[in-house]
Amino acid sequence: MGNKNSLGSRVQIREIIKNKFRYKTIFGKLFTIYGSMLFLFLFTSLFIFVELYRAYFINYIQNSMLNHATLIANTYEQLAQENSFSESTFDTVIIEVNVLSSMMNASTWLVDKQNNMLSLSDVEEEGIIVKNLMTSSDIEKVFTGESIKILHGFEEYFSDPVVSVGYPIRINGVIDAALIIHAPMPELIKTVNDVYLIAFSVAVVAGCAYIFIIYNIAKKLTEPIKNMSYVARDIANGNFEQEIKIDSYDELGELADAFNHMAKKLNDVDASRKTFVANVSHDMRSPLTSMRGYMMSIVDGVAPPEKIAHYNQIVLDQTERLIKLTNDLLELNRLEDGRFPLNLSIFDIHELIRDLVYQFEWIIKDKDIKFNLVLDGNSQLVEADDSKIIRVLQNLLDNACKFVDIGGTIEIETVVDKSKLWVVVKNTGTILPNEELERVWDRFYKSDSSRGENTMGMGLGLVIVKEIIKQHNETVAVEIVQGSVIKFYFSLERIDD
């Protein structure tokens, strides 16, 4: 039991730490990540720079010490040959050593082959004092004619670390002594530290400047996302008129445009939904009210006996209308959900069109419509679901009959285009404005009532047409031709005879 409680406590602690340090915003994430990367880069660069500068500076000092050693050795050799180690020879060498000491606070040794050392830097203060040095492999290298650089060494002779160089002194071509120069490391480190402080100050100032820049860049990048979040909440609450204002042309700009387009579409859908609810309410309430009135007159016994059959027919007609509206809704819903699988077959589309025209004969005569059939060939075979294509043509013809003007023209035409057959349904009459033309495919859309008197539908017929043709992976479109003719057309897969 105790182990379980302990395990539970550890899990809770981990969750608390996880929640505490979890990034709450994209801005915080960007700012933290880029800020951390910046400081890591700056201080890594600073460390590398200081180390490289330290190595460069020490090497530079050693080379400078070697140059001075060469000069001292050459002076020593030249004057030794001319004056045979007179006092003036020694004084000239001491001058060179003093110059080096004043520049680098260096100590200069003259060591013979018996490891006897004369500290030239201390001659003026202590006089000529000769000390015997312990055997050193580094000094032995100098007597072999090699110039040496030593970063760490001679710890037993100095309280502070020193940087040393060694240079052989030749007299008459023979190595006579070794010139060893030591420069105190603390003096060099002080110079390196001064440079480090300057570089650190520059890095801090640059880092602060870059942090300010990163802050503004992160804020500019995340501000549109934050606005989208606010707008998304408004849209979720039903306010579809919100819009994201952004002036960038990058991916965020494209996202904002897509978001605004989505909001516009949702606003259109919402408007269509409200229109649909109003239409459904009206189209169902009107027949129900009418049916209720007629049925009440029959039930109450106030209907004339000779009118009862007529009233019953009206109730039956209204019932059929309600059933049709309900079926249209159910059919559209199943089409959009893909629950109406296609039953493909090969059939003659021309024969289907001729049979279908007879169903609209009474409407054609009633409105004195001129009806033209312009069929490409006597027969044309297509592969499709014939029952659904019948529904497409019925809806298109029904739409044409509703909105054709009295005495106007309806024309059905077929056009062969390689492997496709195009079916065109045209009618004259009141024409939709261009801005409303594409909206005829929108669900629940219903045009202005001024387009005709017989507009009792719910704006679902053309939506069903679009969904059926879409299921066939074919094309359906609408356009205005000759200024006063509206043309609907769709394609089908053509089969050669």
First to last CA, the chain: 83
The contacts of residue 433 (CB under 8 Å, 6+ apart) are: none
340 or 410, greater pLDDT: 410
Q: How many CB atoms lie within 10 A of CB 223?
A: 13
127-136 pLDDT, tens digit each: 445 566 666 7
Calpha distance 381→389 (Å, rounded): 13
- Ordered by start, the domain boundaries in the chain are 20-237, 251-335, 341-495
pLDDT score at 125: 46
Grouping H, G, I as helix, E, B as strand and the rest as coil, residue 374 is: strand
* Contact of 178 with 169, CB cutoff 8 Å: yes
Residue identified by tokens 């049709």 is 324
Rounded to the nearest 5°, which phi and psi values hold at 90? -65, -40
pLDDT score at 352: 93
Residue identified by tokens 């089409």 is 335
Domain covering 251-335 assigned CATH 1.10.287.130 in the classification: yes
Judge whether residue 424 has pLDDT over 90: yes
* Contact of 68 with 255, CB cutoff 8 Å: no
Judge whether residue 347 has pLDDT over 90: yes
pLDDT score at 360: 86
Task: Choose the weakest-confidence range: 6-20, 175-189, 313-327, 420-434.
Answer: 6-20
* Contact of 447 with 436, CB cutoff 8 Å: yes
SS3 for 84-131 is CCCHHHHHHHHHHHHHHHHHHCCEEEEECCCCEEEEHHHHHHHCCCEE
Domain covering 20-237 assigned CATH 2.60.120.680 in the classification: no
195 is written with which tokens?
Answer: 């440079």
458-494 pLDDT, tens digit each: 567 888 888 889 889 999 999 988 778 899 999 999 9
Regarding the domain with residue range 341-495, which homologous superfamily does it belong to in the CATH classification? Answer: Histidine kinase-like ATPase, C-terminal domain (3.30.565.10)
DSSP structure string for 163-187: EEEEEEEEETTEEEEEEEEEEEHHH
Indicate yes or no: pTM above 0.85.
no
Grouping H, G, I as helix, E, B as strand and the rest as coil, residue 133 is: coil
What are the start-end ranges of the H helices in 337-460?
Answer: 349-359, 361-366, 386-403, 434-437
190 is written with which tokens?
Answer: 């002080």
Measuring CA to CA, how many Å separate 319 from each of 289, 329, 384? Answer: 12, 16, 32
Judge whether residue 454 has pLDDT over 60: no
Reported as a pLDDT band with limits 50, 70 and 90, residue 426 is: very high
